[in-house]
Amino acid sequence: MKTHFLIFLITILSLISSVSLADSPIDIKQDNVIRFIDEMVKDHKFDRQYLREILSKAKRKESIIKLISAPAERTLNWSDYRKIFITDERIMTGVNFWKNNKEMLERVESETGVPIEIIVGIIGVETYFGRITGNDRVIDALTTLAFEYPPRSVFFKKELKHFLILTREEGLDPLVPMGSYAGAMGRPQFMPSSFRAYAVDSSGNGKRDIWGDWADVSGSIANYFLAHKWRTNEDVTVKAYLGREWKGKAPKPSNILKISNTLESLRNKGVQFATKLTDKSKGELLTFKGNNGIEHWIGFHNFFVITKYNHSVMYALAVHQLGQLISSKFNDEFNKNEI
């Protein structure tokens, strides 16, 4: 009995300790926190007492550190990745989203030149059309990673700085906004620096609301692509094949994020594909492990603009394909209703 009670007591104490550790307040007397406050007061004219009060209400969350530092259990290939993000349910959710926001989406596309299918593709992959936006307060995520996670402290201190500035600019309570464990915010999952650089008031109500205003969400995503030099009416990617003229080893899947070839040079190497873009246009041969084995695609300029949003060729292909499938299904239903 005593042994059982001792084990029970140790278990209870460990649980209390872990809960306490998970939600312990940020220590504003730490040297790195003091230096951060000094910098914000000096460089950005914040009130010292205000910062001390806000940061003292932020919480160090062990769950965030575990998530950011946990190694991936396995590396996903394209077949796995596609099954996660391109499903019948997600496509139909996207179609309904398009139907419910048709006029607004058409306006954003007209103003920016960024097609609706790219906007809905981003929203669908990032947050499942607003269903999954994160369960952590942004202030908790950013302070935990800025002050309690040395491997990425420089990056997250910068994002914490932007977050505090944007809450001042937008008139937001820093303790309220919610986001991911890494501090990505709202329906488009903008980091604070991206919010300040690219978020727009597309609804015209004087606020940039990426948490609750779909016009601002869509306009901000389009503005991000516009700022990264999206080219209206140009191809994103096309299927490719290795012809008989191909020399050398077959390419393997890799996360290529920079264009180093012209379409002419790819064709000269034996790569076969169809596009209206000129031979002098840039493109890159991309290789993925799909459901039926290895598949090849040509990524054009606009494909690599998508990778600016998330530095992954699988992400970019998922956004493109999800958007295309939603667009096709939407147009089929729209045309049926017109008959």
- Tell me, what's the pLDDT at 22? 52
Q: How confident is the model at residue 333 (pLDDT cuts 50, 70, 90)?
A: confident
**Residue 11 above 70 pLDDT?**
no
Nearest to 219 by CA among 93, 97, 107, 91: 107
Provide the CATH topology of domain 2-71+134-198: Helicase, Ruva Protein; domain 3 (1.10.8)
The domain segmentation of the chain, as residue ranges, is 2-71+134-198, 237-310
What are the b/e assignments for 123-134, b being 16+ CB within 10 Å?
bbbbbbbbeebb
- Tell me, what's the pLDDT at 3? 37
Both tokens of 22, joined, read: 């998970």
pLDDT tens-digit readout, 75-97: 899 999 999 999 999 999 999 99
The stretch 1-29 carries a mean pLDDT of 53
Residue with tokens 């295309």: 324
Both tokens of 136, joined, read: 């952590």
**Residue 106 above 90 pLDDT?**
yes
**Residue 1 above 50 pLDDT?**
no
**Residue 316 above 60 pLDDT?**
yes
- Tell me, what's the pLDDT at 250? 86
Please state, as a whole number, how many other Cβ atoms lie within 10 Å of the Cβ of residue 103: 9
Higher pLDDT pick, 21 / 152: 152
Element at 100 (helix H, strand E): helix 88-100
User: Looking at residue 190, what DSSP letter applies?
Assistant: B
Rounded-to-integer distance, Cα 46 and Cα 250, Å = 57
Rounded-to-integer distance, Cα 216 and Cα 203, Å = 6
* Mean pLDDT for all residues in the chain: 92
Please report, for the chain, how many H helices and E strands are present, in that order. 15, 9
**Residue 4 above 50 pLDDT?**
no
- Tell me, what's the pLDDT at 73? 55
Strands 59-60 and 178-179: unpaired
Rounded-to-integer distance, Cα 202 and Cα 195, Å = 13
Rounded-to-integer distance, Cα 127 and Cα 186, Å = 9
- Tell me, what's the pLDDT at 334? 75
Both tokens of 297, joined, read: 């695609």
| Catalytic positions | 126
pLDDT tens-digit readout, 276-295: 999 999 999 999 999 999 99
Nearest to 313 by CA among 278, 272, 274, 285: 285
Residue type, 180: S
What are the b/e assignments for 52-74, b being 16+ CB within 10 Å?
eebbebbbbbbebbeebeeeeee
Coil vs helix vs strand at 22: helix
What's the chain's Rg over C-alpha atoms? Answer: 24
- Tell me, what's the pLDDT at 7? 35
Question: Is residue 65 within 8 Å of residue 182, measured between CB atoms?
Answer: no
Coil vs helix vs strand at 272: strand
**Residue 246 above 50 pLDDT?**
yes
Question: Is residue 180 within 8 Å of residue 136, measured between CB atoms?
Answer: yes
Q: Under CATH, which number does the domain 237-310 receive?
A: 1.10.530.10
Coil vs helix vs strand at 153: helix
Q: How far is CA 294 from CA 81, 199, 244, 248, 259, in A?
A: 14, 38, 17, 16, 21
**Residue 129 above 60 pLDDT?**
yes
Q: How confident is the model at residue 19 (pLDDT cuts 50, 70, 90)?
A: very low
Q: How confident is the model at residue 101 (pLDDT cuts 50, 70, 90)?
A: very high
**Residue 146 above 50 pLDDT?**
yes
237-310 has the same fold as 2-71+134-198: no
pLDDT tens-digit readout, 31-89: 999 999 999 999 999 999 999 999 999 999 999 999 998 866 568 999 999 999 999 99
Both tokens of 231, joined, read: 């080219």
- Tell me, what's the pLDDT at 18? 45
Rounded-to-integer distance, Cα 274 and Cα 210, Å = 38
- What proportion of the chain, given as a percentage, has pLDDT over 90? 86
pLDDT tens-digit readout, 163-219: 999 999 999 999 999 999 999 999 999 999 999 999 999 999 999 999 999 999 999
